Structure 1
């Protein structure tokens, strides 16, 4: 029996145990953004360290940071072979709105071949797959074809504010030849995709204030500027009617995509009508002169994520509110710098603040820089061969409109090529109610990970 056949048999025979263990992991409500769940973050970290130890890794431990801890473990028994650093995260998003979940978010449930739970796809399920792939290879062969290290964090969903300091302080511990991340989706069911570009991220809160307290609109209407009116006007100045961002200098550092990338994007089967219908909108919208994929993957965006102020209860309350607020985020592309973009946004807001209104801004806790790699790197081509071996089709090459803040930091500080070997699907409701993970991709993904470890072991120079 070949090694591949032995691994397939092992995964089949231990499938139920693996699922039960994954359920344990998913039941821990490790929501990083809510301080009430800090004990759960610690529990999840300890659970992971115990798992790493149980499958045969050494030096598995929970390492404190200024925020939530890092989980580390290693197996370094493959002398002369490459070292793979596996990065992932064990924290999850909040579950609101809770009433939209069909089953409780931290009580895993299987329906129609899908595992439902918060974190099932992003990113607990995908992290767990690497642990079980290593378990299977060690059980079936007694060794791994490569050296592996794990660096699992508990703050990815809040922008990874402390991962940079951790990497900088532990460069020797984390030294490797390749960084491997499973936190991205396939293109669609049966069609793997290798993501080679991630957007950066920055954001701020905007606070505008008028009178010192809410006022009677009959007694003071027409006398002062209403902060809600002022905020609505102010935010409208951020955009041109055609979707272009109207902030001076915003696009100055944007690196255009190559003609080869344009051609690759054009070959990707993207059904705009199906996407429009799925989203329930009359049409798609965005910066003119670019395709939908180009706008989402390779052009920067600015979004107003929330606006609030004044009376929001049932009925009517005729007040002029004292203040109004909004949250803004920008998704950035190479070579935009988050700090520079924030400065440009803040300058624009101050320049366009209406008379009679005081404005202040507060930046988000952390920012992320964009990252783009070359698809020709041997480590990425090894991923392509692994996908083709298990899924039976050539993977397509994509970028993402989303961010993994740690990716660029690992690249900048450790000079590692980054391989995004993901197994989720775009419609698995990550960050939304009823998040789920297709078990078919869980099963095929285990084989793909094992295949990748074997493929990368044959490369002499990375």
Structure 2
């Protein structure tokens, strides 16, 4: 059966590619109100596509852009999966840096592959359609799917997912499932597909330190008056330890070590630690001493400063003692850490280091937990086996970034997620000339066929 479906995908690749092109041509830019009509049109296109396949599907109104929800039946005893994707895209600006119309996909041959070049080709329309087309291939050849499948396509992922939590709260019963499938991540390398099993959470903060009621003349008040920039600099310097760790009290209380299985799998990955840094003009890892680079960016929490400003920064020279200084920083968290606890401890750390007559104001810029998949999840091993069947290899990996959507889905539905991606690191997502490799699209569809077949045997 599997070979028949895979052969059918191979023989009908052009038609599947044209459907992807139709979807890409709709400029579903969620962050710009001028495109609201196009975003709604894109949602309707997807709902119609699912209905063509025999699904019960519709668009659902939210406080923002529509959701698309669909259901395809399968054997009652088979697992029920929910496939999540997003159909909105980033703005195409700056247009002058594109080599072609960003919303008119083109095929650009390159050595060993072909690039599908367009906004949304990779993030997330190409990835989304690998799963949709795999389901279509099952239906076209077998008449039905061997598992039960629901779909949730969001139209605000690129603009903050503001409507998602409220929508999930109201639709949780309808979206009940055994596992969430997501295809918005990358492969480990060009030939190795990966299941992302962990990502870090986020605490984002902006702080403003105030010292005095106005800027002061440094000759008249120097030494005697507190300098807000100096106070802020001392506070920021106190956040890190000499060995590259984070010095906030209790920061590591809930951090667990990697499992032996995960540590061994990561150690076996072909990863050039030195090249990772030399590619960006550096050579010495700055995180916790004694930790590999992969552990530092995937499995250990971090503290990073993103901007500092205050005083006089225009051309020339002005000898003032600034009364205010500002900084933006973030903490990337790992599974087990409570974002609210980390924020509370950070606020206390800062306040404890201020001079008596200085004050501080805080502003939140994001608060989301980390996530790690249970290695014993019954769907993980079959998925890795299916990927190996198609590509000849597979692995698990982590990511240093944050994906709040997965946390929202788990909180609402109470189930884990499988993050299977076919993107490559050079896909230029969010940048001009975004691309998705034709091999990613083709083998991605074939991979999902194999995964669906394998998951059908999970009881």
Q: TM-score, normalised by structure 1?
A: 0.86
Q: CA deviation at 1:439?
A: 2.2
Distance 1:402 1:237, change over 3 A: same
Mapped to 1, the partners of 2:451 and 2:101 lie a distance apart of 35
Counterpart of 2:51 in structure 1 is 53
Q: Which moved more, 1:280-289 or 1:161-170?
A: 161-170
Is structure 2 residue 178 aligned with structure 1 residue 177?
yes
Q: How does 1:211-226 map to 2 (within 5 A)?
A: 211-212=212-213, 224-226=225-227
Q: For the Cα contact (< 8 Å) 2:28–2:89, is it kept in 1?
A: no
Is structure 2 residue 295 aligned with structure 1 residue 294?
yes
3-state SS in 1 of match to 2:137: helix
Mapped to 1, the partners of 2:298 and 2:313 lie a distance apart of 36
Q: 2:73 aligns with which of 61, 76, 81?
A: 76
Mapped to 2, the partners of 1:54 and 1:436 lie a distance apart of 27
Mapped to 2, the partners of 1:18 and 1:316 lie a distance apart of 60
Distance 1:202 1:55, change over 3 A: farther
Q: CA deviation at 1:287?
A: 1.0
Q: CA deviation at 1:174?
A: 0.2
Distance 1:75 1:248, change over 3 A: same
Counterpart of 1:276 in structure 2 is 277
Counterpart of 1:450 in structure 2 is 449
Q: For the Cα contact (< 8 Å) 1:30–1:44, is it kept in 2?
A: no
Q: CA deviation at 1:146?
A: 2.1
Counterpart of 2:196 in structure 1 is 195
Q: CA deviation at 1:311?
A: 4.6
Mapped to 2, the partners of 1:174 and 1:447 lie a distance apart of 26
Gaps of 5+ in 1: none
Counterpart of 2:406 in structure 1 is 407
Q: CA deviation at 1:170?
A: 1.8
Q: For the Cα contact (< 8 Å) 1:78–1:146, is it kept in 2?
A: yes
Distance 1:347 1:101, change over 3 A: farther
Q: For the Cα contact (< 8 Å) 1:156–1:405, is it kept in 2?
A: no
3-state SS in 2 of match to 1:194: strand
Q: CA deviation at 1:198?
A: 2.1
Q: In the TM superposition, what whole-angstrom CA distance separates every residue of 1:19-50 from its partner, at most 9, and x where no partner exists?
A: 4224214x33223xx66766665454444334
3-state SS in 2 of match to 1:274: helix
Counterpart of 2:21 in structure 1 is 20
Q: For the Cα contact (< 8 Å) 1:208–1:360, is it kept in 2?
A: yes
Counterpart of 2:84 in structure 1 is 87
Mapped to 1, the partners of 2:95 and 2:219 lie a distance apart of 39
Q: For the Cα contact (< 8 Å) 2:85–2:182, is it kept in 1?
A: yes
Distance 1:399 1:236, change over 3 A: same
Q: CA deviation at 1:248?
A: 0.5
Q: For the Cα contact (< 8 Å) 1:7–1:137, is it kept in 2?
A: no
Mapped to 1, the partners of 2:147 and 2:71 lie a distance apart of 11
Distance 1:167 1:254, change over 3 A: same
Q: CA deviation at 1:80?
A: 3.6
Counterpart of 1:9 in structure 2 is 11
Is structure 2 residue 61 aligned with structure 1 residue 63?
yes
Q: For the Cα contact (< 8 Å) 2:216–2:322, is it kept in 1?
A: yes
Counterpart of 1:306 in structure 2 is 307
Distance 1:240 1:40, change over 3 A: farther
Q: In the TM superposition, what whole-angstrom CA distance separates every residue of 1:225-268 from its partner, at most 9, and x where no partner exists?
A: 34333333322211113210010011111122123322222111
3-state SS in 1 of match to 2:257: coil
Q: For the Cα contact (< 8 Å) 1:29–1:106, is it kept in 2?
A: no
Counterpart of 1:343 in structure 2 is 344
Distance 1:264 1:357, change over 3 A: same
3-state SS in 2 of match to 1:188: coil
Q: Which moved more, 1:51-60 or 1:143-152?
A: 51-60
Mapped to 1, the partners of 2:192 and 2:51 lie a distance apart of 34
Q: CA deviation at 1:190?
A: 0.8
Q: For the Cα contact (< 8 Å) 2:21–2:105, is it kept in 1?
A: no
Q: For the Cα contact (< 8 Å) 2:30–2:156, is it kept in 1?
A: no
Q: In the TM superposition, what whole-angstrom CA distance separates every residue of 1:200-240 from its partner, at most 9, and x where no partner exists?
A: 22222212234555566666655643433333332221111
Q: Which moved more, 1:332-341 or 1:407-416?
A: 407-416
Q: For the Cα contact (< 8 Å) 1:156–1:404, is it kept in 2?
A: no
Counterpart of 1:262 in structure 2 is 263
Counterpart of 2:129 in structure 1 is 128
Distance 1:14 1:36, change over 3 A: closer
Is structure 2 residue 238 aligned with structure 1 residue 241?
no
Is structure 2 residue 210 aligned with structure 1 residue 209?
yes
Counterpart of 1:421 in structure 2 is 420
3-state SS in 1 of match to 2:442: helix
Q: TM-score, normalised by structure 2?
A: 0.87
Q: For the Cα contact (< 8 Å) 2:30–2:158, is it kept in 1?
A: no
Q: CA deviation at 1:83?
A: 1.8
Distance 1:230 1:199, change over 3 A: same
Mapped to 1, the partners of 2:137 and 2:90 lie a distance apart of 30
